[in-house]
Structure 1
């Protein structure tokens, strides 16, 4: 086990039709997708390989698809390398991927759980009521202050601390618009509305979290065999009860990604592998700590690069 290696798992937004296409004939990857398909009752590989994108981008399909993709890549890595990370974490949904890889949840249970997570998130806030926006180039405290001033009886808060100078806000649509204007007035370079229908990680998700907590009681959680740093407290919990609490709270609390990466660096992590589609987290790592080398593992070429990185 490498002392200076961490693995990270992406969240929603990293999915694309034809992701993992390099592994169409890889037995480990295909068996992982078959396992997920059996649990969900539909062909997950067909959805990710052929789309349509509109369906893949619906959160109750996105979440199981991304989780399966990340777990498939993790299993592929374990099959070809004896080198394992000393610590792992996932961004939002990616925390569930990390917990499967740490043997806290089975893949079958996890895909069904995140499918429900997506359904609960979608139904808890009717479409058109909530919004999210990325605020670029403004200090965290100024964004938090703008949200407090903009609320006016509604919900708006900073929900993703992705990297210094990149924070996502979420809440009621009108309140998000007001907060965005205040952020611009305070000096933000840009405020970009995000194309999502669900205002994740804010107080509007409390109802979804309560429903998810009920589902947790139907599923077996095991003690992790890898350190998994959570989004909510930036702590690697060993107790199953605490892992559950953190996952429930995660749905209506901020993702503290900048602090997670900083905690890795403080523990001596110098190499990170992003396990899953896209390179979103790799981009964030560069903005948080340039001394950390990060590669994204999602095709044959990047698999080779990841193997080279961990040998250094």
Structure 2
């Protein structure tokens, strides 16, 4: 039985940190088994990398993507192992959409973990390290950000665009490093409260990712996709899809299209969602979701105590 008013959401890049999930790994066999499965699929010890590697290595997108997908799937499996019920709807932020589709049964886990490593490689090689950047813009009207970036890109010196609509007043821009720097200065001058570079290694969700999208389409042609058992709201258009071929198309489009996270959360609220569980490391999405709709109750699963508290809270809310 699904939890009728509950959504599970899955984080994207930026939630990774050395040492994450240590307590969950010690506590839950499902977490340990999931990391073992991922390590076998990729041919290296992922758990050792997370616990003992360097943060700089973890931040490289070809590493970050399989690590975060594995972390989210591990916590989902731990949730089920502990008797948790499935939600009424799912969504994931960028990479997290792949995590959501694995947990909804649309993608096989081993296929997905290999696929997102390729996705990361394609995204990284589309723009050499150092030539692309992303920055979070806080406290400025969304349309003003779109317009200022379009003006800078229109000068022909480099691409920059609004690419993640994370919550009202929080938008991420991306593009060529020089143009992002120019945009940061212009957006501060226009009244942004904060404009800060993000610890990512490529300008995701811009037209600069089109070559990565073409390569991802080729890789995805080899992957089986099923209709999801739980509706998954997609970043590109804030709707759920059942047709596997349409899901395949959207996952390719997503790589070079803006992430409409505000719209995704609003779509979940329109479905009657009041409880949102962040299934992955950190609480980035919980913070965004509260800014999008203050009526939402947020829960997390990263720590065993939090997972048990969420089980109890949702049993009471059902």
TM class by shorter chain equals: over 0.9
2:203 maps to 199
Matched length: 312
How far did 1:82 drift? 4.6
Retained in 2: the 8 A contact 1:276–1:297? yes
SS of 1:3's equivalent in the other structure is: strand
Retained in 1: the 8 A contact 2:59–2:199? no
1:78 maps to 80
Out of 44, 47, 57, the residue aligned to residue 46 of structure 2 is 44
Q: Tell me whether 1:12 sits opposite 2:13 in the alignment.
A: yes
1:239 maps to 243
Please give the residue correspondences for 1:101-140 in structure 2 after superposition, counting only pairs within 5 Å.
101-140=103-142
Distance of 2:236 and 2:252 partners within structure 1? 10
SS of 1:5's equivalent in the other structure is: strand
Gaps of 5+ in 2: none
Out of 166, 172, 192, the residue aligned to residue 168 of structure 1 is 172
> Which 10-residue stretch deviates more, 16-25 or 63-72?
16-25
SS of 2:164's equivalent in the other structure is: strand
How far did 1:8 drift? 0.3
How far did 1:196 drift? 2.5
SS of 2:281's equivalent in the other structure is: coil
Retained in 2: the 8 A contact 1:136–1:166? yes
Distance of 2:50 and 2:145 partners within structure 1? 36
1:68 maps to 70
TM-score normalised by L of structure 1: 0.97
- CA offsets per residue over residues 109-155 of structure 1, 9 Å max, x none? 00100001111111110122111111111111111100111111231
Out of 272, 285, 292, the residue aligned to residue 281 of structure 1 is 285
Distance of 1:242 and 1:143 partners within structure 2? 31
How far did 1:172 drift? 1.2
Q: CA RMSD in A?
A: 1.1
Retained in 1: the 8 A contact 2:274–2:296? yes
SS of 1:277's equivalent in the other structure is: coil
2:61 maps to 59
- CA offsets per residue over residues 55-114 of structure 1, 9 Å max, x none? 222211111111011001101111222521000000011000001001111110001000
How far did 1:177 drift? 2.1
Retained in 1: the 8 A contact 2:13–2:200? no
Distance of 1:54 and 1:147 partners within structure 2? 28
Return closer, same or farther for 1:212/1:77 CA change in 2, 3 Å cut-off: same
Retained in 2: the 8 A contact 1:150–1:182? no
How far did 1:23 drift? 2.6
Q: Tell me whether 1:177 sits opposite 2:181 in the alignment.
A: yes
Out of 141, 144, 150, the residue aligned to residue 143 of structure 2 is 141
Retained in 2: the 8 A contact 1:132–1:196? yes
Retained in 2: the 8 A contact 1:271–1:309? no
1:3 maps to 4
Please give the residue correspondences for 1:264-303 in structure 2 after superposition, counting only pairs within 5 Å.
264-303=268-307
SS of 1:24's equivalent in the other structure is: helix
TM-score normalised by L of structure 2: 0.95
2:152 maps to 150
Gaps of 5+ in 1: none
